[in-house]
Amino acid sequence: MIVFVVNCGSSSIKYQLFDMTDESVLARGLLERVGQSGSVLHHRSNETTHEIEVDAPNHTVGLKIILDTLVDPKIGVLKNIEEIEGVGHRVVHGGEQIRESTLIDENVIKVIKDNASLAPLHNPPNLAGIEAAMSALSNVPQVAVFDTAFLATLPPRAYRYAVPRQWYEKYRVRRYGFHGTSHRYVTLRAAEILGKSVEEVNLITAHLGNGCSMTAVAGGKAIDHSMGLTPLEGLVMGTRSGDIDPAVIFYMARTAGMSLDEIDTTLNKKSGLLGLSGVSNDMRDCVEAAKKGNTDAALAMEVFSYRVAKYIGAYFAILPGCDAIIMTGGIGENSLPIRLRICQLLSNIGVIPDEKRNEEAIRKVGLITADDSKIPVWIIPTNEELMIARDTRDVVKQMAVK
């Protein structure tokens, strides 16, 4: 089965084309500046990357450009577009209505629209991609894979906030969490590595990138998560503050005269590593600046590591056991000093880092703790696109059976 995976942003379309016979990637790419002048398609196939200037005034035209490229005689990988048997879409928010990957119909589209207020930067462009794909590939099953689905198993004690019940019932104020597709992928992969069924594994998974989140996994199911109503809660991130005293918002409004929009922008786009370091939202830049004596960058690294270790400690306390700690994402997969520092901060629960193993596990699966560490720490590169492709294949097969 050939599966086309689409991830639409407000001005971009990421894509991968999979042959699910062996789960190989036939092509991948990114169309940038959709709806703007100077659109560029970065298309990779047959181990070659092509940069093509195009005119993509909207997602519908952009997707047609991508599909035309996939069948291009020179750089394409398909003889005709009819070879695509399923399209998988990343959708950020399914609210409480959808708890698993599902075939897209009018009801699913309504759910995506209904939850747009909870994910205004993501659900609308996700839906634009769906509508564009349904127009271009009208006879091909379209499947929605929701970031929130893996986290739908959180119990009320984990997802409810201590606010008036009406806030939850009328305004849907609760913890939803995000990055669920990534957390699910590494959970399944960890079970394979540990030689257990997914129903047996108890894990703490940490997706550490520009956006960061953590999940407590018991018996293969999510029971707690660090992000909340929005992706702002939880860990320190590239530009997001993570946890703060809610009263800071009112304090800055009254004392500094900031508007709610200004505070919102600051907490989401000017805080985190960028706000602490004054250097960059990229951990690599912070590490380099710290090496040169920048104390603010060094503090940013320490606060980041400390917050991760603190969440791990909290999740360790609520799990029935912990088979492993998993790190993934750009920082988790690549930042040696941060991984090492997090492990060092966990020495009081028996984590013993192995520096040589840490150095060897770059962008690949690897154990970074010593053999006598009470809790192993594994690096597992995430693959959300493959998870989406697998779900799409499974949903399409279920359709065929029915």
Q: Which two tokens stand for residue 96?
A: 């409480």
The CA distance from 170 to 321, in Å, is: 37
Question: What is the tally of structural domains in the chain?
Answer: 2
211 lies in the same domain as 291: yes
The one catalytic residue among 55, 68, 72, 147: 147
Other CB atoms within 10 Å distance of the CB of residue 227: 28
Domain end residue (candidates: 104, 125, 146): 146
95 lies in the same domain as 207: no
Taking each continuous run of H as one helix and of E as one strand, the counts in the chain are 15, 14
pLDDT digits (tens, 9 = 90+) for 170-199: 999 999 999 999 999 999 999 999 999 999
- Please list, in sequence order, all residues whose beta carbon lies within 8 angstroms of the beta carbon of residue 150, skipping any fewer than 6 positions away: 180, 181, 183, 184, 187, 215, 222
Residue 363 is predicted with a pLDDT of: 87
Burial class (CB in 10 A: 0-12, 13-18, 19+), 154: buried
Q: Is position 291 within any domain?
A: yes
Residue 401 is predicted with a pLDDT of: 75
3-state secondary structure of 358: helix
Q: Is position 260 within any domain?
A: no
135 lies in the same domain as 189: no
Residue 351 is predicted with a pLDDT of: 98
The CA distance from 326 to 11, in Å, is: 32
- How far is the CA of 197 from the CAs of 99, 192, 222, 378, in angstroms? 21, 7, 15, 17
184 lies in the same domain as 142: no
104 lies in the same domain as 196: no
Question: What's the pTM?
Answer: 0.94
The CA distance from 161 to 164, in Å, is: 9
The CA distance from 145 to 93, in Å, is: 10
Look up the CATH number of the domain holding residue 316.
Answer: 3.30.420.40
- Please list, in sequence order, all residues whose beta carbon lies within 8 angstroms of the beta carbon of residue 19, skipping any fewer than 6 positions away: 1, 2, 26
| Cβ atoms of 369 and 354 closer than 8 Å | yes
Residue 39 is predicted with a pLDDT of: 93
Q: Is position 299 within any domain?
A: yes
Q: Is position 401 within any domain?
A: no
Residue 228 is predicted with a pLDDT of: 96
344 lies in the same domain as 202: yes
pLDDT digits (tens, 9 = 90+) for 132-158: 999 999 999 999 999 999 999 999 999
* Residues of the domain holding 67: 2-146
47 lies in the same domain as 123: yes
Residue 221 is predicted with a pLDDT of: 98
Q: Is position 45 within any domain?
A: yes
Q: Is position 168 within any domain?
A: no
367 lies in the same domain as 221: yes
Domain end residue (candidates: 120, 146, 172): 146
- Please list, in sequence order, all residues whose beta carbon lies within 8 angstroms of the beta carbon of residue 347, skipping any fewer than 6 positions away: none
190 lies in the same domain as 142: no
Residue 402 is predicted with a pLDDT of: 67
Rg of the chain in Å (alpha carbons): 22
Residue 119 is predicted with a pLDDT of: 85
Annotation marks residue 147 as catalytic: yes
300 lies in the same domain as 206: yes
| Cβ atoms of 102 and 112 closer than 8 Å | no
Q: Is position 340 within any domain?
A: yes
| Cβ atoms of 216 and 234 closer than 8 Å | no
Q: Is position 270 within any domain?
A: no
7 lies in the same domain as 95: yes
Beta strand 12-19 with 48-54 is unpaired
| Cβ atoms of 296 and 286 closer than 8 Å | no
202 lies in the same domain as 109: no
Q: Which residues of the chain have pLDDT under 50?
A: none
